[in-house]
Amino acid sequence: MDDIKFFQNVQTYVDQAASFTQFPKGLIDQIKACNAVYQINFPVKIGNDIQVIEAYRVQHSHHKLPTKGGIRYSDMVNQDEVMALAALMTYKCSVVDVPFGGAKGGIKINPKNYTEEQLEKITRRYTFELIKKGFIGPSQDVPAPDYGTGEREMSWIVDTYIQFNPTQIDAAGCVTGKPISQGGVQGRTEATGRGVYYGLKQACSHADDMKKIGLSTGIEGKKVIVQGFGNVGYHTARVMAENGAIIVGIAEYEGGLYNAKGIDIEDLKTFQLQNNTIRNYPKAKFVKQSNVLMEHECDILVPAALENQITKENAPRIKAKIIGEGANGPITPDAEQILLKNGSLIVADLYLNAGGVTVSYFEWLKNLSHVSFGRLDHRFQEFSFNSLMNMIERNTGRKISDQDRKIVHGASELDLVRSGLEDTMINAYENIHEIWKQHKSKKMSFRTAAYVNALNKIGAAYMELGVFP
Ligand code: GLU
């Protein structure tokens, strides 16, 4: 596994796509390069010891500012990984028309080995190191949650940032994925998983594409295996199940669960929260080797944990017809070749998991505008709908039931966020699909089409910047 170079893999994908664009090599080289890499080692007192903590923030592309991307806490963090993830953020933002450059941060710790108080100390010190060098700020670089972090860490970050910038009116926009009470937006936590659902739903709506891989259209009735039951995996499984998919397998790092009749996702989540594990869950078969679960029979496989999970070693045994990349980089380029040859449709990460950053964009907009979505028009909409229904009642002489009246209501912040997310995912899919369809005879993959879509927009932005006189 160590020989897999994640950043190089992303470069390989860009090179494949570049041959379908008209941009000169120098411009492609500039797009590919990481614009700024910041590596920090800082001391933190843990118990009676002083520990040196290794951390990173990489800004991959300054062609649009601020740069944007999550912060990961994992003992596997290294510079190559953070650079690759930062680069993916640039392409991801471009695909979904989020006007940011890509960035990523990482702290090389296993959060499970630290108390909450120690994690707070590490997070606040890391934030201070970012402030010191201009690697955080609403107009510079805006972090968010990623593997091993969530609302709690984001609230420590925003609080530290405000302490150092007490008069900055837009300070809350220095980080996204915050709790609502600290300027977060409704629907951010579920956004990546919900986006995965919207993306897969769109993929499954194309009758021609489904026919080619021997599937019917629609999500309903599709058998799904999800790898990872953290934020992305859980919400993907939940929203897919709510919309009629049958979740037959859930794979976690400690082993997996399989039930051909479907797993009740909420029930499993409750079990996991109570027991701190998914082991011994009574309503599904336990599969010791988590990775083997991905090889079980299913229609859709969603790797939603970490990178490099499907390699040339296990790719030949994957049976899923659709692989939806909830995680970043879960399939290596060699593995992708094998899967494509076997006829699978791979709905690539830079498109499929872009729901998180899309809603982060909405949160940042909310912070800059200092007003929640729907606040101005919610009551007006409700009043208009009700007036319309009253008019229908008067003119038809028939009463509209309370039940029916509830169907129309003023849009809440959550309604608007979900609607904006769904619209974004549908439009981006169709734009990529158009490129894919045009080049299908040249055996272009969906991933390459997504990269072409991203490169065209980033290249055009560079040209407009006039950095190449
Ligand atoms: N960490 C998430 C990702 O990989 C979200 C990034 C963000 O919201 O800025 O896309």
Domains (range + CATH), the chain: 36-182 (3.40.50.10860), 187-374+411-446 (3.40.50.720)
pLDDT bucket at 210, cuts 50 / 70 / 90 = very high
Residues with CB under 6 A from ligand 1: 68-70, 144, 146, 176, 328, 353, 356-357, 360
Which phi and psi angles does 249 have, rounded to 5°? -145, 145
pLDDT of residue 4: 66
The three-state secondary structure class of 24 is: coil
pLDDT of residue 469: 55
Amino acid at 409: H
pLDDT bucket at 3, cuts 50 / 70 / 90 = low
With the most atoms of ligand 1 within 8 angstroms of its CB, the residue from 94, 146, 176 to mutate is: 146
Expressed in angstroms and rounded, the spacing between residue 38 Cα and the centre of ligand 1 is 19
Whether 72 and 108 have beta carbons less than 8 Å apart is answered as no
pLDDT over 80 (residue 442): no
Q: Which residues are catalytic?
A: 104
Could you give the CA distance from residue 306 to residue 428 in angstroms, rounded to a whole number?
A: 24
What value does the mean pLDDT take over residues 331-337?
Answer: 95
Whether 187 and 414 have beta carbons less than 8 Å apart is answered as yes
With the most atoms of ligand 1 within 8 angstroms of its CB, the residue from 58, 59, 74, 89 to mutate is: 89
- CB contact set of 122 (below 8 Å; sequence gap of 6+): 44, 53, 107, 109, 114
pLDDT of residue 467: 64
Could you give the CA distance from residue 32 to residue 10 in angstroms, rounded to a whole number?
A: 9
The tokens for 218 are 């629609």
Q: DSSP H helical segments within 276-408, as ranges?
A: 290-293, 333-341, 349-352, 355-369, 378-396, 402-407
Q: Which of 85, 84, 90 is nearest to 7 (CA)?
A: 84
pLDDT bucket at 404, cuts 50 / 70 / 90 = confident
Helices 446-465, 79-95: inter-axial angle, 10-degree rounding: 80
What is the edge-to-edge ordering of all strands in the sheet holding 255-258? 285-287, 255-258, 246-252, 223-227, 300-303, 322-324, 345-347
Q: Which atom, in ligand 1's list, is nearest to the CA of 85? A: 4
What value does the mean pLDDT take over residues 437-447?
Answer: 89
pLDDT over 90 (residue 407): no
The three-state secondary structure class of 222 is: coil
With the most atoms of ligand 1 within 8 angstroms of its CB, the residue from 6, 88, 357 to mutate is: 357
Q: Which atom, in ligand 1's list, is nearest to the CA of 71? A: 1
Could you give the CA distance from residue 201 to residue 206 in angstroms, rounded to a whole number?
A: 9
**Eight-class DSSP state of 410:** P
Torsion angle (degrees, nearest 10) of CA 257, 262, 266, 271: -30
What value does the mean pLDDT take over residues 392-410?
Answer: 89
The mean pLDDT value of the chain amounts to 95
pLDDT of residue 54: 98
Whether 372 and 413 have beta carbons less than 8 Å apart is answered as yes
Expressed in angstroms and rounded, the spacing between residue 312 Cα and the centre of ligand 1 is 27
Residue with tokens 């390699």: 311
pLDDT bucket at 463, cuts 50 / 70 / 90 = confident
Expressed in angstroms and rounded, the spacing between residue 20 Cα and the centre of ligand 1 is 27
Residue with tokens 């290249």: 459
Expressed in angstroms and rounded, the spacing between residue 356 Cα and the centre of ligand 1 is 5
The tokens for 35 are 């614009």
Could you give the CA distance from residue 299 to residue 323 in angstroms, rounded to a whole number?
A: 9
- CB contact set of 421 (below 8 Å; sequence gap of 6+): 187, 191, 194, 195, 198, 355, 358, 359
Expressed in angstroms and rounded, the spacing between residue 379 Cα and the centre of ligand 1 is 33
Q: Which atom, in ligand 1's list, is nearest to the CA of 145? A: 1
pLDDT over 70 (residue 2): no
Expressed in angstroms and rounded, the spacing between residue 355 Cα and the centre of ligand 1 is 8
pLDDT, one tens digit per residue, over 242-253 is: 999 999 999 999
Q: Count CB atoms within 10 A of the CB of residue 327.
A: 26
Displacement of CA 340 from its chain's centroid (Å): 23
Helices 413-438, 191-203: inter-axial angle, 10-degree rounding: 40
Residue with tokens 């060098």: 133
pLDDT over 80 (residue 165): yes
- For ligand 1, atom 8, the nearest C-alpha belongs to 357
Could you give the CA distance from residue 373 to residue 449 in angstroms, rounded to a whole number?
A: 33
Q: Which atom, in ligand 1's list, is nearest to the CA of 361? A: 8
Q: Which atom, in ligand 1's list, is nearest to the CA of 354? A: 10
pLDDT over 50 (residue 1): no
